[in-house]
Amino acid sequence: MPKVAWDYIVPIVMPADLKGIAPGKLPEELLRPIKSGGKLHWRAADAWNAMVAKATADGLELKPTSSGDLYRSYASQEASFRQRYVLKPIAGTSTKSFEGKTWYLKKGMAMLATPGKSNHNLGLAIDVHSAGEPKRLNWLIANVKDFGFSWEVVPSEPWHLRLVTGDDPTPAVQAWVDANKAV
Ligand SMILES: [Zn+2]
């Protein structure tokens, strides 16, 4: 497979309508529900729906790990953070700084971005179910760029994709939007 694509990590270009919006506090009009549950920023929703349509046409199931792994409100991110991190020091674990304090990751818990710091709080990130499964991963490597997505941390987070194309949908996304426009 093209290794260059797996290394495909580019910075996010922000959609203009996110300017001045606090992460995790997107107004409803910027969010769009996703068929499988959960919500995304409307630009990311278009791109995701277009990519799912291509996957379906290719005979591959593409879905989020859960409805909570698309847009996350500040409150839900904070609740998850407080489940995983504690203020009581734990030796040898990873730490995060939040509200001016050092927080310690509980044993056996996966790391999580501090509230407001995750692309999920912008509605631009999606965690893909079973992304590391070879057939799905190879499909993603071949397709994410066409739909405006890129990874953020590889190889440790093959599931975490975020939209990086701001207000310029890729030709594949624009074609899907044109074909699915309400008439
Ligand atoms: Zn993620």
Ligand 1 center to 146 CA (angstroms): 20
Residues, beta carbon < 5 Å, ion ligand 1:
125, 127, 160
Ligand 1 center to 23 CA (angstroms): 15
Ligand 1 center to 183 CA (angstroms): 34
Ligand 1 center to 54 CA (angstroms): 21
Q: What is the pLDDT of residues 104-120, one digit of tens each?
A: 999 999 889 999 999 99
Using H for helix, E for strand and C for coil, what is the string for the chain? CCHHHHCCCCCCECCHHHCCCCCCCCCHHHEEECCCCCEEEHHHHHHHHHHHHHHHHCCCCCCECCHHHCCCCHHHHHHHHHHHEECCCCCCCCEEEECCEEEEECCCCCCCCCCCCCHHHHCCEEEECCCCCHHHHHHHHHHHHHHCEEECCCCCCCCEEEECECCCCCHHHHHHHHHHCCC
Per-residue model confidence (pLDDT) at position 183: 62
Q: What is the pLDDT of residues 66-106, one digit of tens each?
A: 988 999 999 999 999 999 999 999 999 999 999 999 999 99
